[in-house]
A = this chain, B = another copy of it.
Amino acid sequence: MHDHDAVSIIRAKRDGNALTDAQIDWVIDGFTRGTVADEQMSALAMAIMWRGMNRTETARWTTAMMDSGSRMDFTDLPLPTVDKHSTGGVGDKITLPVAPLVAACGAAVPQLAGRGLGYTGGTLDKLEAIPGWQADLSTERMRTILTDPAIGAVICAAGADLAPADKRLYALRDITGTVESIPLIASSIMSKKIAEGTGALVLDVKVGSGAFMTERADADELAARMVQIGLDAGLRTVALVTDMETPLGRTAGNALEVAESVEVLAGGGPADVVELTLALAREMLLAAGIDGIDPADRLADGTAMDRWRAMIVAQGGDPDATLPTARHSDIVRAPASGVLTRLDAGMVGRGSWHLGAGRSRPGEPVSAGAGIEMHAKPGDRVRAGDPLLTLHSDDEARLARAGAELASAWQVEDTDAVVLRPLILDRIC
């Protein structure tokens, strides 16, 4: 018998006890080395869903996950580092404009990102719509880009050695119905973000039909958990809880979202994308200890756009290349005049996924051109026959199917009163 055998640890959590530091270290180390079986980790994950983990346990769990791999270190950079993480939403392309924008304001932004699974899309999938752009960089190359005074921002794939135990646990949770545990979600995100070596972190926790969290209380709890973990690990951390009942911006899909991001960097773009980009950039600068600079000025004066172009070029991409488009498209029109009172983020997300913008299985290719353009957003007045949505897909048969699914995603009513939720709901620090 071991001092801490796996069964006794599972039983302790199952019976509602807090795990000790030694138990957490032992079980995650064993899981990393293969002496704690996947079956045991699955049962433990379910026991954690049942009983939860307190602040001390969650902090230790995060550290142990982080320690399963190597930790990057950017403390020697001449600039303060800051990163942003979103829990994922439909049309959420904010990482694309915000990373070069914050770099233009004087911080270094080492942004590790992922590919999408399910309908919320992945930042790397979006950037890969840009011809030539490469997601994989060595740490040395990251460092070179971050210290380049003309760039200062990098968005790239996390290496295999970044919290590898978390990667394996996430794959297990995905097949065992144990994804929806707030302490496990919080520690999974934070273990990677802390290992990434950033000095400060701004979290965007989405809540609504198009987000992982559909309840405000759950989103607030997740945000508070992550902020606590960050602070416990010595990371300046703040979270915004933001609305995801309605898609963000006017596009959902890979190349479509890149184009919209470029509009924002050019000083235009949809109001909600601009609002959230600026709000997150301000939080990132505050967390990085940079003041006296208004990021809105950096959008207006073109310096954010310069950083974007240099960042794309540094990763092999052509910022002037024509973005791919899908082979087929179809327009959904307003059946009557009135006001668009609802545009459901979850349904738009699933529609975009079915059109080919997302994947069902890790490793599956995604379509760069597929997705949905939204010509009206809630509160907009439309006339009968006006286009509401344009659907894009490489597969014509998917257009009709997605169109039928999207029929209940929106509502046009003869009304003057529309209740619009604010975009930024809570700030947790």
A-to-B contact residues, CB < 8 Å: 6-8, 10-11, 14, 37-47, 49-50, 172, 174-178
Contacts and interface: CB of A to CB of B under 8 A. Distances in A.
B47 A7 contact: no
A31 to B, nearest CB: 12
Contacts of A174: 7
Contacts of A44: 177
Nearest to A49: B14
Contacts of A175: 6-7, 37, 39-40
15 contacts: A7-B177, A10-B46, A10-B176, A14-B46, A14-B177, A38-B39, A39-B39, A39-B42, A39-B175, A40-B176, A42-B46, A43-B45, A46-B47, A47-B50, A47-B177
Contact of A43 (B7, B8, B11, B178): B178
Contacts of A47: 46, 50, 177
Given A39-B38, A42-B43, A177 B10 contact: yes
B39 A177 contact: no
Nearest to A173: B43
B40 A43 contact: no
A155 B44 CA distance: 38
A39 B172 contact: yes
Contact of A176 (B43, B49, B50, B177): B43
B46 A177 contact: no
Nearest to A177: B10
Contacts of A41: 39
Contacts of A8: 177
A216 B369 CA distance: 66
A427 to B, nearest CB: 31
A194 to B, nearest CB: 27
A358 to B, nearest CB: 15
A68 B276 CA distance: 56
A49 B50 CA distance: 10
Nearest to A178: B43
Contacts of A49: 14
A253 to B, nearest CB: 23
Given A14-B46, A40-B177, A43-B176, 6 more contacts: A7-B175, A38-B38, A39-B39, A40-B176, A42-B43, A43-B45
A176 B39 CA distance: 7
A159 B190 CA distance: 50
A38 B42 CA distance: 9
Contact of A177 (B11, B37, B45): B11
Nearest to A14: B177
A31 B47 CA distance: 21
A178 B41 CA distance: 13
A11 B39 CA distance: 17
A383 B174 CA distance: 65
Contacts of A42: 39-40, 42-43, 46, 176
Given A39-B42, A42-B40, A7 B50 contact: no
A389 B148 CA distance: 82
A99 to B, nearest CB: 34
A8 B177 CA distance: 7
A37 to B, nearest CB: 7
A30 to B, nearest CB: 13
A43 to B, nearest CB: 4
Contacts of A172: 39
A175 B175 CA distance: 19
A299 B240 CA distance: 80
A280 B39 CA distance: 39
B39 A7 contact: no
A8 B176 CA distance: 9
A241 to B, nearest CB: 24
Q: Which of A11, A39, A49, A175 has the most CB of B within 10 A?
A: A39
A41 B49 CA distance: 16
Contacts of A10: 46, 176-177
A177 to B, nearest CB: 3
